[in-house]
Structure 1
Amino acid sequence: MPNADMAALLARLAQARVGQPSRYEVPFPQARAQLLAEREPWLNDGPACDVSLRSFSAAGRSIGMQVVRPGQCEANRVLVYLHGGGWCVGSSRTHEAIVRRLAHALKCVAWSIDYALAPEQPFPAGLGDCVAAIEQAAREHPGARIIVAGDSAGANLALGAAMYLRDRCAAGIEATLPDALLLFYGVYTDSLSGSSMAAYGDGRYGLSIAAHQRYLNAYFDQCLDQKTDAGGALSDRRYAFQLNPAADLSGLPPTFLVAAEIDILRDQTWEMASSLRAAGNEMDVMEVPGVTHGFLAYGAVLTEVGTVIARAAQFAQRQP
């Protein structure tokens, strides 16, 4: 069950949506606008930072982002943040409060990436943009530690990008392996089974199995290249869903994982934690009781947000 603050927040959000269609059911362009409208009242939460817009070019296209710079900023770290939203909705703006909190805690500049969204640009377009952003951050900040973070689908992209970059390095191709990963209530498999799916799949606390399946379909099922192969191509299924039995999880950066108790994706975080540990990686994992998927956006009313951000920053900062 939600804790008292989470329950009050859910009631408040439900009241704000009265008379509106579910954003999990409307066309994706409408869902994007609706999510932004829902998040706007919460975007002034957290520490003040300088926020600017910029873009860079990669693979013949322009990739936009927010650059978030806290008051205390150290030159030896850069945070690359990948927003959630089922690979189909969300933006650097909808997740600005989360990124400001993380940048402030890490005392470093943050790049919040507006990667390509499905279904207009399905897998692996968004993943390619995330890889390009990590490489660009390393080029522009030589010698800095690169910390890659993401929530939900963004956590999936962060881990997929790290695996791809690891494989590039192993193949003798110049690439930037991140120094740490911070993964918040991520999706790591296209499976719809498990105890947390069964417990919360009806959507009474937000993300439902039906909505999640719609995101999965839009992101991946429309892509013609669904095979798993040994070529290390960006379109390899192992980079899309990292709990694929064929995926190699060894040799990855130190990883901090967070699960929300009341979330259909909760079990996936614990399975990923076990798999990363079994593969010999340094990792830490925590589950936040009484909160739902997406809770990090509501630090103004949920004290758990500050706790999670602090733990994540401590993990990243203690890495050599």
Structure 2
Amino acid sequence: MAMDRFVRALIKWQAGGRPEPARTLPVAQVRDRYAAQAAHVRGGAARDAGIETKDQLIDGGDGEFGVRTYLPPTDRGRLVTYLHGGGWTVGDVDTHDPVCRRICAELGAIVVSVDYRRAPEHPHPGPLRDGIAASEWADRTFPGRHYVIAGDSAGGALAVGIAMHHRDHGGIGFAAQLLVYPPTDPELRSESADKYGSGYLSEVDDLRWYYDQYVPDPARRTDPEIDLLGADLRGLPPTVIGTAEFDPLHDEGVELAVRMAADGVEVHHVPAPGLVHGYLLMADIVPAAATATRNVLAAVEQMLASAPMTQ
């Protein structure tokens, strides 16, 4: 399928500023630029949905970090803990605020968005530990709900790591898992990484830089929470995987879906034709991105329809 025309316009807008690659800049500058880009594509419609929010700090065991809780206008007994994208290095609860508002409104779910401590100041497994602590806090605070662990991009990988932790330690039994364009192979060996590695908003060389920030020790890149394609995926919750057609990580998401199915996990792959990595953040201004977002949430809705409450 041809690339969506609104996405082409975004790529043209970004290229017009002649941005320096993230890998050449100080981390603080990359964070500021990412926040500015997220603000550029943010609309205001989701803020009018009657959603209440609360920001607070929780204890991660070795320090505090933030969570933002979203309360839906119509509560349908769902709970979502959400891990934002941004290469484990950039992004926060503000950049992904519109995403969490959409999830809250469309699923009728309480959403706990995790402002996990980021690399390089907090490399692997720091953000994962914060995600685990946040998932446990949410479960204690809002018990007895259909509980979904979710995330996009780097947050999707964190979500899988959190689900693995609870599987292996007899913890939370999630009703479903939502992963949107997750990174699964730290070596970035797929055909899509080569084909769409430059000129499609997400640069594959920048993705390698993000891995360098998050997992500076190459020996740790075989950890199952990092190399998801080499992990034991058995016993994970029913999973929705969203991919974007023009994304360096497209083939990794498809392969994860295949391996999950082979390991006996119920999995629903939801493609997004014509779109690029990061489409969740574009849903306010790109109609096709809004449709793709509704599609992945509809797949989660279908899974929750017959799911048991969190055990």
Deviation at 1:92, TM superposition (A): 0.7
Contact 1:189 1:241 in 2 (8 A): yes
Deviation at 1:268, TM superposition (A): 0.3
1:30 aligns with 2:29: yes
Contact 1:86 1:216 in 2 (8 A): yes
Look up the match of 1:66. 68
Distance 1:112 1:72 in 2: 19
SS in 1 for 2:46: coil
Matches within 5 A, 1:80-229: 80-169=81-170, 175-201=171-197, 203-222=198-217, 226=220
Deviation at 1:38, TM superposition (A): 1.8
Deviates more, 1:269-278 or 1:65-74: 65-74
Contact 1:81 1:148 in 2 (8 A): yes
Deviation at 1:109, TM superposition (A): 1.5
Deviation at 1:222, TM superposition (A): 3.7
Letter in 2 for 1:84: G
1:241 aligns with 2:227: yes
Deviates more, 1:190-199 or 1:125-134: 190-199
Distance 2:215 2:21 in 1: 22
Distance 1:242 1:22 in 2: 26
SS in 2 for 1:264: coil
SS in 1 for 2:81: strand
Letter in 2 for 1:36: A
Report the TM-score when normalising by structure 2. Answer: 0.91
Deviations 1:258-312 (A, max 9, x none): 1111011000011000001001111100211111111111112222233233233
Look up the match of 1:42. 41
Deviation at 1:77, TM superposition (A): 1.1
Letter in 2 for 1:239: E
Distance 1:227 1:213 in 2: 12
- Which residue of the other structure, out of 281, 292, 303, is the alignment partner of 1:297? 281
Contact 1:42 1:97 in 2 (8 A): no
Aligned CA-pair RMSD? 1.8
Letter in 1 for 2:212: N
Matches within 5 A, 1:48-59: 48=47, 49-59=51-61
Percent identity over the alignment is: 30
Mark the runs of 5 or more structure 2 residues left unpaired by the alignment: none
Deviation at 1:192, TM superposition (A): 1.9
- CA 1:198–1:60 in structure 2 vs 1: closer, same or farther (change >3 Å)? closer
